[in-house]
Amino acid sequence: MEQVCPVAPKLDFGGTTPYEDYVRASVLHTLQRQASDDPREMSFLVTTQVMELYFGLLCFEWRQAQKELRADDVTAAVRTLRRSELHMQALNAAWRPIARMTPGEFNSFRDALGEGSGFQSGRYREVEFLLGEKSRSMLVPHRSAPAQHDALEALLSEPSLYDDVLAALHRRGLDVPDELLKRDFAEAYAPDERVEAVWAHVYREGPRDLLELGEALTDVAEEFSRWRHDHLLATRRSMGSKVGTGGSAGVAWLEKRVRRAVFPELWTARSYV
């Protein structure tokens, strides 16, 4: 039998490679600029930039899920949410190199951060707003960046991912109260026993696609809780209870946030199934 010789990969592109044109790797690798001479700062800097990229990706995915929910394509929304859960697992793993720094190692470059803090991340604020963690006071750190502030202010008043879920459940004939669908979306969502009853019904009787939606949302909520918990542990391990960078309350602030759950009725409804 005649053997077919494998085709050799193309090696010469007469300029940049198609990989470079698509990924823009050379641009990415120019964005790491240490503010100190400590080699450990590079690990912290790259890890933080990776987190920022994942924040942007999650916002993209959840906006896509909102479009699919508004089109009543629950199956597509579930696929998108499950994909985002995998992104969140990778995001959460990024805490490990930071958490393994001793206090002395972290302090060796901490002063170089100045007043910089993850608390000031505009993209992370988008993550929280899309998950329904709304707070007008959280716009304050972004006032000096008008474009970012305006985008976040607009997002504050728009339906969150969970608001779109409740609207989709309502269109399917489930008893989601009208006042929740017409509420002021800039206000933080408050758990409602009637929504809890809707989810309990879904888990007892289906339909299957809505049960899968509930589970996909719970997976997202669980990974977000894990993100907050791992953030707390990494901070506590590397700096104890000292004031955080940028003057934040550090561990005390994170301890308050970790107790909050997104999509609350998906957790409490399980007691009635």
Q: How many CA atoms lie within 13 A of 196 on its CB side?
A: 13
Comparing CA positions, the residue from 163, 149, 141, 146 lying closest to residue 65 is: 163
Residue 141: DSSP 8-state: G
Helix and strand element counts for the chain (H, E)? 14, 0
Between CA 240 and CA 251 the distance in angstroms is: 7
Q: Which residue has the tokens 């929280």?
A: 128
149 marked as part of a ligand binding site: no
Q: Is 17 helix (H, G, I), strand (E, B) or coil?
A: coil
Contacts of 161 (CB under 8 A, 6+ apart): 62, 65, 66, 130, 131, 132
245 marked as part of a ligand binding site: yes
Question: Exposed/middle/buried for 43, CB within 10 Å: 0-12, 13-18, 19+?
Answer: middle
Between CA 262 and CA 265 the distance in angstroms is: 9
Go through the chain and tell me how many residues it has: 273
231 marked as part of a ligand binding site: yes
Between CA 75 and CA 212 the distance in angstroms is: 8
- Contact (Cβ atoms closer than 8 angstroms) between residue 269 and residue 199: yes
Between CA 61 and CA 85 the distance in angstroms is: 10
Question: Residues annotated in the binding site for heme, as ranges?
Answer: 231
Question: Residues annotated in the binding site for substrate, as ranges?
Answer: 110, 245
Question: Residues annotated in the binding site, as ranges?
Answer: 110, 231, 245
